[in-house]
Chains A and B, each alone.
Chain A
Amino acid sequence: MLLLIKYTLLYGIVLMLVALGGMFSEHSGIINIALEGIMVIGGVAGVLTLTMLPESLPAFATVLIAVLAAAIAGMVYSLLLAFASINLKADQTIGGTALNLLATAVAVVISKNFSDSGSAKLNYSNKPFLFSIGGLELSIFVPLGIALLIISYIVLYKTRFGLRLRACGEHPQAADSVGINVYKMRYAGVVISGALGAIGGLAYIVPPVQTWNFEVGVAGAGFLAMAVMIFGQWKPFNICGAAMFFAVFKSLANIADSTFLAQLHWSSNIYNMMPFVASMVILAFTSKNSMAPKAEGIPYDKGSR
């Protein structure tokens, strides 16, 4: 049971972080389908930083620097999406898809270039990221994630920034007519999603293992996070709940061998499939009353009103 909680938290926090990222972007009016790619970029940047940091550095500093490196990389990468979809008014889905494909290629090229073996595998130590409370081994991303969740809620609903951001996603013409710079707000939304998505990417890769092959990417976790966001109705705490719900499915695979589930003799393929099937079922039921920001996906053109 403890193991189930551990894996659920581990994976759930990842989904939540990335989904929160998507939420900021969509509240500003930009569909960020590039989350998968942003995770990869965040992962490769963070891991690369880890491999370069001296081991003598205190754990706290290591974590901080790696997380920051990932976040900054994600923010920079997400600027590509922002530029294409805000300034050039490109189709957001196509732009995002391109960035997903590009991210894997970039990650492989970079990791091959920096790894000793010439393969896309990077080795690192995940010790600084782990701590345990009463036998439950947790990663640093759990408290970090909870903090970011609360901050996200406050920013979105209690600040001037949040009010303006949401106005841009719902009715950009209205926001513009009261003097809000829609382009700037949308940039802000996308860049925040880049930071959260990238931290999520690092959180996906680092805690469980000490080596990562970047040819693999993040195996659809970014897309699942989008489903989490939709299931969570674009609201922070609902997203947290939805993320944990999805994570349970995923963690079943990890604990299957040691529990009654072992008797089912299901292969890993079936467990891997489960969160995706679950997300489809849930989407089918929840899609009728979607709370999606009304203007998402529509490029804002100052000329047309």
Chain B
Amino acid sequence: MNKKKLSHSNLNSSITSVLAALLCIVIGMAVGFLVLLAINPAHAWGDGFVRIIKGGFHDAPYGVGKELANAAPLIMTGLSVAFAFKTGLFNIGAAGQYTLGAYGALYCAIMLKMPWYVCLIVATILGGIWGAIPGFFKAYFNINEVITSIMFNWIGLYLVNELIYQNGTGPMYDVRNTRTLNLSKNAEYAQSIIPDFGLNKMFQTNSTTIAIFLAAAVAILIWVILNKTTFGYELKAVGLNKSAARYAGINEKKNIILSMAIAGALAGFGAGLYYLSNVSQWNPLNSTSLPAMGFNGISVALLASSNPIGTIFSAIFISHISVGGSFLSTKYYPTEISDLISGIIIYLCAFSMLFRGKIHSMLFKNADKTNVNAEPAPAKTETKKEGK
């Protein structure tokens, strides 16, 4: 009888999470529409809002292919953030880990002419190292991983730019495009591009590869690790209550570093998927902004309530509206409207716990009277990091 009950309450909480996410999306879109109205009321509906909603379908199948190509790395950065959340850490450093991953992938592809899977592995390792550093600072110096990750985002950005650019003389740098060399322009690099098995033809694009399937597979793998293994049990225990984990004989320092390393590796892998699909090239002259992919990962993770499977869908959604945003006519609107919308959505997600509580009590008011031998539940004193 217990099993039945359990799956029932699990289902309830999943429904609640999905509804909370939808609520965030709806409010976010509504605010976005108001902004469109404010900027240019005449075109707000057809040329503005509808285009964003239609996303890639505005220009199918090309737009859809583009959407999928962008979704793959987003799933990974989303997973990176979600995985860290599950273990009680806020990985705001996905951008930096992504940067290092990009360097690893491109270096192996351009300089070493390695096959794509080797490039991916190197990207993963570099991302993992960059993630492990804030983990190390957290474990041994007790410095908040948020601060460290932010610092290492910038350090990573400047480092990679320097390595690639080298005052314009870097061998990976293409002066004419002010970017790294384009992988598909030179047959030498063909083995480094992730295979597409005809997807490009189908979508009439040149960067839609099997990356999206790789990303989805990794998401499932992460779900299994978190929910079915002793390793996941330990990671979540550390995330929920570090002191109790320590009491249980779990090496919490090791777990913090490992968990940040895995989070970093996921982001690095995502960068590999992006650059080895040749969606675009790295611009080392951009020294003032970090890859947006890293921060959008935060929205993805929050929308998915840190559920690894959920990140697949929320990544596709975020990719959908940002592709939609890029189809906005610059005559009427800045394309950053979609950034604005996703910013609002994260802001709403920050208190989606509250939404979830409200929705849950509205839907399942009488379903679960958990506390029979009641006593007011002890208040949470620790900072509630997202996830559970």
Direct contact of A and B (CB under 8 A): yes
Whether A284 pairs with B141 at a CB distance below 8 angstroms is: yes
Whether A283 pairs with B148 at a CB distance below 8 angstroms is: yes
- Would you call the interface of chain B mostly helix, strand, loop, or mixed? helix
Cβ of A112 under 8 Å from chain B = yes
- A266-305 vs B, CB cutoff 8 Å, 1 = contact: the mask equals 0111101100110110011001101000000111010111
Q: Which of B152, B353, B354, B383 contacts A297 (CB 8 A)?
A: B383
Chain A residues with CB under 8 Å of B151's CB are 223, 227, 276, 279-280
Whether A99 pairs with B347 at a CB distance below 8 angstroms is: yes
- A48-92 vs B, CB cutoff 8 Å, 1 = contact: the mask equals 000000000000000000000000000000001000100011111
Also in contact, A276 and B92, with CB within 8 A (given A105-B339, A112-B336)? no
Question: Whole-angstrom distance from the CB of B335 to the nearest CB of chain A?
Answer: 9
Whether B346 pairs with A97 at a CB distance below 8 angstroms is: yes
Also in contact, A217 and B289, with CB within 8 A (given A84-B347, A84-B350)? yes
Chain B residues with CB under 8 Å of A305's CB are 379
Whether A267 pairs with B346 at a CB distance below 8 angstroms is: no
Also in contact, A91 and B340, with CB within 8 A (given A84-B350, A276-B154, A301-B379)? no
Chain B residues with CB under 8 Å of A267's CB are 162, 165-167
Cβ of A144 under 8 Å from chain B = no
Cβ of A21 under 8 Å from chain B = no
Also in contact, A101 and B141, with CB within 8 A (given A89-B354, A91-B384, A216-B288)? no
Q: Which of A94, A104, A219, A276 contacts B350 (CB 8 A)?
A: A94
Q: How many residues of B contact A (CB 8 A)?
A: 54
Residues 340-388 of B contacting A (Cβ, < 8 Å): 340, 342-344, 346-347, 349-351, 353-354, 379-386
Also in contact, A283 and B334, with CB within 8 A (given A93-B90, A95-B350, A101-B339)? no
Cβ of B142 under 8 Å from chain A = yes
Q: Which of B158, B337, B381, B386 contacts A298 (CB 8 A)?
A: B381
A217 to B347 Cα, complex, angstroms: 19
A270 to B289 Cα, complex, angstroms: 16
Q: Which of B167, B288, B339, B386 contacts A94 (CB 8 A)?
A: B386
- Would you call the interface of chain A mostly helix, strand, loop, or mixed? helix
Question: Whole-angstrom distance from the CB of A118 to the nearest CB of chain B?
Answer: 7
- B210-254 vs A, CB cutoff 8 Å, 1 = contact: the mask equals 000000000000000000000000000000000000000000000
Whether B346 pairs with A101 at a CB distance below 8 angstroms is: yes
Chain B residues with CB under 8 Å of A113's CB are 39, 334
Total inter-chain residue pairs, C-beta < 8 Å: 158
Chain B residues with CB under 8 Å of A230's CB are 147
A288 to B159 Cα, complex, angstroms: 28
Chain B residues with CB under 8 Å of A102's CB are 340, 343-344, 346-347
Cβ of A220 under 8 Å from chain B = yes
Cβ of B35 under 8 Å from chain A = yes
A299 to B146 Cα, complex, angstroms: 18
A139 to B385 Cα, complex, angstroms: 42
Cβ of B143 under 8 Å from chain A = yes
Also in contact, A93 and B146, with CB within 8 A (given A84-B347, A105-B340, A109-B336)? yes
Chain A residues with CB under 8 Å of B92's CB are 93, 97
Whether A277 pairs with B155 at a CB distance below 8 angstroms is: yes
Chain B residues with CB under 8 Å of A89's CB are 351, 354
Question: Whole-angstrom distance from the CB of B373 to the nearest CB of chain A?
Answer: 20
- The size class of the interface chain A forms with chain B is 35 or more
Interface centre among B148, B339, B349, B351 (most CB of A within 10 A): B351
Also in contact, A88 and B155, with CB within 8 A (given A33-B146, A109-B39)? no
Whether A280 pairs with B353 at a CB distance below 8 angstroms is: no
Residues 224-263 of A contacting B (Cβ, < 8 Å): 226-227, 230
Chain B residues with CB under 8 Å of A272's CB are 154, 158, 287
Cβ of A98 under 8 Å from chain B = yes
Cβ of B137 under 8 Å from chain A = yes
Question: Whole-angstrom distance from the CB of B265 to the nearest CB of chain A?
Answer: 21
Cβ of A106 under 8 Å from chain B = yes
Also in contact, A94 and B137, with CB within 8 A (given A99-B347, A227-B147)? no
A244 to B347 Cα, complex, angstroms: 33
A93 to B386 Cα, complex, angstroms: 10
Whether B347 pairs with A95 at a CB distance below 8 angstroms is: yes
A80 to B344 Cα, complex, angstroms: 11
Also in contact, A216 and B347, with CB within 8 A (given A89-B354, A279-B151)? no
Cβ of B298 under 8 Å from chain A = yes
Chain A residues with CB under 8 Å of B2's CB are none
Question: Whole-angstrom distance from the CB of A72 to the nearest CB of chain B?
Answer: 19
Q: Which of A108, A112, A268 contacts B287 (CB 8 A)?
A: A268
A299 to B381 Cα, complex, angstroms: 9
A3 to B148 Cα, complex, angstroms: 31
Cβ of A215 under 8 Å from chain B = yes
Whether B347 pairs with A80 at a CB distance below 8 angstroms is: yes
Question: Whole-angstrom distance from the CB of A81 to the nearest CB of chain B?
Answer: 9
Whether A270 pairs with B158 at a CB distance below 8 angstroms is: yes
Whether A90 pairs with B337 at a CB distance below 8 angstroms is: no
A103 to B158 Cα, complex, angstroms: 23
A298 to B385 Cα, complex, angstroms: 11
**4 closest cross-chain pairs (CB), A and B:** A304-B379, A102-B343, A90-B351, A98-B346
Additional A-B contact list (10), CB under 8 Å, known A89-B351, A108-B334, A298-B381: A91-B383, A101-B339, A101-B343, A102-B347, A109-B39, A217-B288, A217-B289, A223-B147, A283-B143, A297-B383
A–B Cβ pairs within 8 angstroms, 30 of them: A88-B351, A90-B353, A91-B383, A93-B92, A93-B146, A94-B386, A95-B351, A97-B298, A99-B343, A99-B347, A101-B298, A102-B340, A103-B343, A105-B343, A109-B340, A217-B288, A219-B287, A219-B289, A220-B153, A220-B154, A223-B150, A269-B161, A272-B158, A276-B154, A280-B151, A280-B152, A284-B141, A287-B143, A288-B142, A303-B379
